[in-house]
Amino acid sequence: NNNIDSFSFVSREEALERYSEIVPESLLENLEQDKDEVFPLSFRITLKDLSRINETTAQIESIPGVMQVNAPTNVAETVTGIKRAVYLCGSGIVIILLAVTLIIIANTIKVTVFNRRKEINIMKFVGATDLFIRMPFVVEGILLGVVSACIAYLLLWGGYTYLMGYVQAQASTALSAFLKNMIPFSKVAKQLLASFAIGGVAVGVFGSMIFVRKHLKV
């Protein structure tokens, strides 16, 4: 199955040991003697995509010799919903800050061109190239783009950390175990920061070039 990430064999002894971690000792007195009946040999399977848990469960149940498949469908649906919410919130933050950045760049260039119109006319008169006149505005746009990207990155980091902490505090034992397997923000922090920075530079460059052409007749 292409949705199985990994699997491991669980012996009766291992199953009893794991079970003993979540139930009182008073309930384990008779289980150790009857573990052959209570804890059958099993496999623990980790999936790549939790949204396909029902499909994968059905495929495993169809394998000859498989007596029963225990799949925490409700927990998987909850985790999938959390991941979707994080993705949507993160995308929303990026889109909003992208729009705000473009508006700031447009207004900044418009005001700067108006305030420096005499200097710009003098530079044109003495033979300054279009690139030389435009470059300060492009650099300013890049700086604004990078600052906005850093703000978006910090908001995403804080929001993700808060959401995961809140959900784990309110979650059941099974859900908490699933959430612990989710990728921590620290593991992708550098890659995300680099992506946000590159995106900020790109937005700054293209945004400033567009608005410079609009407001600066060079």
Q: Is the pTM of this model over 0.75?
A: no
User: Does the pLDDT value for residue 171 go beyond 70?
Assistant: no
Same domain, 125 and 56: no
Same structural domain, 63 and 89:
no
In a shared domain, residues 14 and 88: no
Could you tell me how many residues make up the chain? 218
**Which domain covers residue 159, as residue numbers?**
75-215
Same domain, 67 and 80: no
Asked if the model's pLDDT at residue 175 lies above 80, the reply is: no
Query: Domain check: are 64 and 164 in the same one?
Result: no
Task: Say if residue 109 is in the same domain as residue 67.
Answer: no
Number of domains in the chain: 2
Same domain, 48 and 144: no
Average pLDDT, the chain: 78
Regarding whether 203 and 120 lie in a shared domain, the answer is: yes
Residues 132 and 161 in one domain: yes
Residue 162 has pLDDT above 60, yes or no: yes
Q: How much of the chain, in percent, has pLDDT values that exceed 70?
A: 80
Q: What is the pLDDT of residue 215?
A: 65
**End residue of a domain, out of 71, 100, 123:** 71
Indicate if the pLDDT at residue 107 is higher than 80: yes
- Are residues 84 and 166 part of one domain? yes
Query: What value does the mean pLDDT take over residues 55-83?
Result: 80
User: Which of 71, 101, 130 marks a domain boundary?
Assistant: 71
Print the SS3 string covering the chain: CCCEEEEEEECHHHHHHHHHCCCCHHHCCCCCCCHHHHCCCEEEEEECCHHHHHHHHHHHHCCCCCCCCCCCHHHHHHHHHHHHHHHHHHHHHHHHHHHHHHHHHHHHHHHHHHHCHHHHHHHHHCCCCHHHHHHHHHHHHHHHHHHHHHHHHHHHHHHHHHHHHHHHHHCCHHHHHHHHCCCCHHHHHHHHHHHHHHHHHHHHHHHHHHHHHHHCCC
Residue 154 and residue 197 share a domain? yes
Does the pLDDT of residue 32 top 60, yes or no? Answer: no
- Say what the pLDDT of residue 71 is: 77
Average pLDDT on 150-170 reads 79
